């Protein structure tokens, strides 16, 4: 068993910026534990000397020539934003306390 | 009419792109309410694209290899100005400021995009049931799912709404719905088709590929969309391979491996279909050997840590700042949380949670790290197999199309429907599903052909042998 706890699930939800209801916490604790239990077949393997594969092929640092190319129009991009002001994305206050 | 024939008739002036687009719109209107295939029908854009093709013909120009052929696009592919949702509330109403490279290539080849098709939310699912906009129904039996995640695209082709469609395949999301809807679906070699403008799910696994009613049409569509793209840094640095020219190469002299782990646990009718496919390929001149690749059994476990880990990172961008939904709250962090909580559905949240856990301090090595090592073992196991044979054969899915709700309460049961397709994505190699045989309730079954990277021409030629026998030609 993975031994996943409700407290750990609540912690992960905070890391993932998700708010879970009590029912969702209960359900996800059971469901995620079941998925992690399935992965136990993998965990019992001794893979100490095996190199990890993060990507299907071995490309490293693909670069292009350093030339200026047109990019997306700023007004078009900002038009898709929920809120914009003075040519920038606008968001609620970031500081935790009144300045 | 198939796509190859349509394009030829349009190029010869025997029919018009506008007529074909109108026919497609009629077919969509006839069944879309019942089946929920298209989330957005781009009638205006389609008629404009068709008119451009007809105008080019009138000027004596060649509009391209897909002249006037209607095509459906999975709604995780960006087309400038056309609503793109990934079947998620978090992107509802968003219109991309640019088009995917595949969409540009389709338009350059004279194809006519008809609209955007339903999928599991952010392509996470195997039935389209996780779509925020309701499931798609299987045109062959509307009480059953079309498969997923590219269920809408598969259903569009199976229902005769469009002869071609594009989907994306991260763990089987093209091959599985193709099998369940009785059509051809190809998951190309990683990097063969540009991912620029494909909204990311798991970037090291995602690949765009074709749906079609015939092997020849799938080959034609793949040729049009493949080839290097400087906008995708993981794009293979080479032009599109020649596929259509090799369709009739046959399988004489080929060595094909029937893989035990790729039929294990499948319905009896599906095992029978795969064994019959082996006989057909043997009769056509191939040598078929049975073999075992035990590492494939670990694919599901590795995939369901790697894909959610990448997804949790990719989906961090939906923060309510730059596009899509924003739910206001007192500060930025609260706004991020409120937006994501309201915008994502249960399956997306489950996978973000799983991925975040697998990447978090204290668990990274045990889960994500271990999964990446299993991925290496999987690649090595395929490589060893390909020293002895050049193509692998198995089932695409363990069962035929299942009924709605039969797997939604148990995520593991749903994940198991991708057990035969996942290994190819982990290895970054090529595979396809071709309709072959019938299963439960006389529904179609798919046979899967797998090969190393860049083996598409060979796989399509073998699929053509099976298709010819199935069609009695």
Asked if this assembly's ipTM is beyond 0.95, the reply is no
Pick among A42, A71, A83 to test the B interface (most B CBs inside 10 A): A42
pLDDT of A8 over the 50 cut: yes
The whole-angstrom separation of Cα B244 and Cα B219 is 6
Quick: pLDDT tens for B173-191.
999 999 999 999 999 999 9
Look at residue A98 in the predicted model and tell me its pLDDT.
54
**Catalytic residue at B74?**
yes
Of A36, A38, A53, the CB nearest to B375: A53
Query: Where residue A10 sits, what CATH number does that domain have?
Result: 1.10.20
How far is it, in rounded angstroms, from Cα A23 to Cα A45? Answer: 35
Confidence of residue A57 (pLDDT cuts 50, 70, 90): confident
Is B322 an 8 Å CB contact of chain A?
Answer: yes
Give the rounded percent of residues in chain B with a pLDDT score beyond 90.
Answer: 98
- Contact (CB, 8 A) for B262 and B392: yes
d(CA B19, CA A12) in angstroms, rounded, equals 54
Return the residue of A nearest to B203 by Cα.
A55
Look at residue B199 in the predicted model and tell me its pLDDT. 98
The alpha carbon of residue B353 is apart from the nearest alpha carbon of chain A, in Å, by: 6
Chain A residues whose beta carbon lies within 8 Å of the beta carbon of residue B323: 80-82
91-110 in chain B: CB under 8 A from chain A? 94-95, 97-98
| In CATH, B3-246 is 3.90.1300.10 | yes
The answer to whether the Cβ–Cβ distance between B335 and A91 falls below 8 Å is yes
Q: How far apart are CA B431 and CA A59, in angstroms?
A: 22
**Any A CB within 8 A of B321 CB:** yes
Phi/psi at B39 (5° precision): -85, -30
Tokens describing residue B250: 């046959």
Q: Does B303 touch chain A (CB under 8 A)?
A: no
Give B344-399 as a DSSP string: S-HHHHHHHHHHHHHHSTTTTIIIIIHHHHHHHHHHHHHHHHHHH-SEEEEES-SS
Does A62 contact B at CB distance below 8 Å?
yes
**Is the confidence at residue A99, as pLDDT, over 80?**
no
Q: Please say whether the beta carbons of B164 and B72 come within 8 A.
A: yes
DSSP codes of every residue in B149-177: SSHHHHHHHHTTS-SEEEEE-SSSTTHHH
Residue A24, chain B, CB below 8 Å: the answer is: yes
Answer whether residue A33 shows pLDDT above 90.
yes
pLDDT above 80 (res A97): no
Cβ contacts (< 8 Å) between A9 and chain B: which residues? 353
Q: Does B48 touch chain A (CB under 8 A)?
A: no
Is pLDDT of B226 > 80?
Answer: yes
Q: What is the mean pLDDT of residues B67-77?
A: 98
Q: Give the residue carrying structure tokens 């670069």.
A: A63
Residue of chain A whose alpha carbon sits nearest to that of B344: A18
Asked if A68 is an interface residue toward chain B (Cβ–Cβ < 8 A), one would say no
Q: State whether B335 and A8 contact (CB < 8 Å).
A: no
Q: Which of B24, B99, B153, B173 is catalytic?
A: B173
pLDDT(B85) > 60: yes
Contact A50/B373, CB-based, under 8 Å? yes
- Sign of the dihedral through C-alpha B69, B235, B203, B196: negative
* pLDDT for A93: 84
For every residue of B13-51, which 3-state class applies, written as one string? CCCCHHHHHHHHHHHHHHHHHHHCCEEEECHHHHHHHHH
* Cross-chain residue pair B312–A41, CB shorter than 8 Å: no
Please state, rounded to an integer, the average pLDDT across all residues of chain A. 90
Token pair listed for A98: 């009144």
Give domain status of residue A65, yes or no: no
Mean pLDDT of the region B432-443: 97
Give me the number of domains chain A comprises.
1
Residue B400 near residue B440 (C-beta atoms within 8 A):
yes
Q: What number is the average pLDDT over the span B127-152?
A: 98
Nearest alpha carbon to residue B235 among B226, B244, B243, B222: B226
Does the distance separating the beta carbons of A18 and B353 come in below 8 Å? yes
Instruction: Classify residue A55: in a domain, yes or no.
Output: no
Render pLDDT for B291-311 as a digit per residue (tens, 0 to 9). 999 999 999 999 999 999 999
Helix (H) / strand (E) containing B257: strand B255-259
Of B16, B24, B74, B214, which residue is the catalytic one?
A: B74
- Listed by number, the residues of chain B in 141-200 with a beta carbon closer than 8 Å to a beta carbon of chain A are 190-191
Inter-residue contact B408 to B417 (CB < 8 Å): no
Does A90 fall in a domain?
Answer: no
Contact (Cβ atoms closer than 8 angstroms) between residue B212 and residue B5: no
Convert B279-311 to b/e letters by CB count within 10 Å (16 or more is b). ebbeebebebeebebebbebbbbbbbbbbbbbb
Please give the Cα distance from B440 to B297 (Å, whole number): 25
Tokens representing B356 are: 């975040």
pLDDT (mean) for B225-246: 96
Average pLDDT, chain B: 97
Q: What average pLDDT does this structure show over B152-173? A: 98
CA A29, A35, A40, A45 dihedral sign is: negative
pLDDT average, residue stretch B143-163: 98
Q: Which of B316, B341, B376 sits opposite A19 (nearest CB)?
A: B341
By the CB < 8 Å criterion, does A69 face chain B?
A: no
Chain B contact for A67 (CB, 8 A cutoff): no
Residue A2: pLDDT above 80? no
DSSP result, A33-79: HHHHHHTHHHHTS--TTPPP-SSSS----------------HHHHHH
Spatial separation of the C-alpha atoms in residues B141 and A60, rounded to whole Å: 47
| Chain B contact present for A91, CB below 8 A | yes
What is the largest distance, in Å, between two alpha-carbon atoms of chain B?
70
- B149 annotated active-site: yes
Tell me the three state secondary structure of residue A84.
strand
> In which domain, by residue range, is A27 found?
6-43
Cα–Cα distance list, B323 to A81, A85, B91, B339 (Å): 4, 14, 8, 11
Query: Three-class SS of residue B255?
Result: strand
Annotated active-site residue in B149, B214, B312, B399 = B149
CB contact under 8 A, B336 and A82: no
Q: At what angle do helices B101-108 and B215-225 cross, to 10 degrees?
A: 110
């Amino acid at each position: 068993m993975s031994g996943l706890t409700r407290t750990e699930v609540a912690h992960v939800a905070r890391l993932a910026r998700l708010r879970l209801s009590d029912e969702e916490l209960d359900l996800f604790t059971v469901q995620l534990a079941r998925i992690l239990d399935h992965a136990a077949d993998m965990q019992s393997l001794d893979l100490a000397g095996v190199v990890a594969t993060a990507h299907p092929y071995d490309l490293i640092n693909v670069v292009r020539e350093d030339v200026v190319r047109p990019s997306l129009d700023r007004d078009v991009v900002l038009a898709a934003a929920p809120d914009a002001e003075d040519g920038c994305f606008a968001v609620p206050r970031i500081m935790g306390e009144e300045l | 009419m198939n796509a190859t024939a349509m394009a030829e008739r349009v190029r010869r002036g025997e029919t018009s792109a506008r007529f074909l687009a109108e026919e497609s719109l009629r077919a969509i209107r006839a069944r879309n309410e019942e089946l929920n295939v298209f989330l957005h029908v781009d009638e205006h854009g389609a008629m404009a694209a068709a008119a451009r093709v007809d105008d080019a013909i009138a000027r004596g120009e060649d509009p391209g290899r897909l002249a006037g052929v209607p095509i459906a696009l999975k709604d995780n592919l960006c087309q400038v100005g056309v609503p793109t949702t990934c079947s998620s509330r978090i992107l509802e109403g968003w219109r991309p400021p640019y088009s995917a490279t595949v969409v540009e290539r389709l338009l350059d080849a004279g194809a006519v995009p008809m609209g955007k098709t339903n999928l599991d939310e952010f392509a996470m699912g195997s039935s389209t049931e996780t779509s925020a906009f309701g499931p798609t129904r299987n045109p062959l039996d509307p009480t059953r799912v079309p498969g997923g995640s590219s269920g809408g695209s598969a259903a569009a082709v199976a229902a005769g709404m469009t002869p071609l469609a594009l989907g994306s395949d991260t763990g089987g999301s093209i091959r599985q719905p193709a099998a369940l809807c009785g059509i051809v679906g190809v998951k190309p070699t990683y990097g063969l088709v540009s991912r620029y403008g494909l909204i990311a799910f798991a970037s090291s696994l995602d690949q765009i590929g074709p749906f079609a009613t015939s092997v020849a049409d799938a080959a034609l569509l793949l040729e049009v969309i493949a080839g290097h793209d400087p906008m995708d840094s993981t794009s293979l640095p080479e032009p599109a391979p020649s596929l259509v020219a090799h369709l009739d190469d046959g399988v004489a002299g080929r060595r094909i491996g029937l893989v035990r782990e790729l039929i294990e646990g499948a319905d009896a009718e599906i095992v029978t279909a795969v064994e019959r496919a082996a006989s057909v390929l043997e009769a056509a001149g191939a040598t078929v050997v049975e073999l075992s690749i035990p590492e494939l059994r670990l694919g599901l476990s590795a995939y369901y840590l790697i894909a959610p880990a990448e997804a949790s990172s990719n989906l961090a961008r939906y923060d309510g700042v730059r596009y899509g939904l924003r739910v206001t709250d007192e500060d930025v962090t609260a706004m991020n949380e409120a937006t994501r909580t309201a915008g994502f559905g249960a399956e997306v949240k489950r996978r973000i949670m799983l991925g975040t856990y697998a990447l978090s301090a204290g668990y990274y090595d045990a889960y994500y790290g271990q999964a990446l090592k299993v991925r290496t073992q999987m690649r090595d196991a395929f490589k060893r197999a390909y020293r002895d044979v050049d193509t692998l054969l198995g089932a695409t899915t363990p069962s035929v199309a299942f009924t709605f709700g039969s797997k939604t309460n148990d995520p593991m049961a749903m994940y198991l429907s991708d057990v035969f397709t996942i290994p190819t994505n982990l290895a970054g190699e090529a595979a396809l599903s071709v309709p072959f045989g019938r299963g439960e309730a006389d529904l179609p079954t798919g046979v899967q052909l797998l090969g190393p990277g860049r083996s598409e021409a060979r796989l399509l030629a073998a699929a053509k042998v099976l298709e010819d026998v199935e069609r009695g030609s």
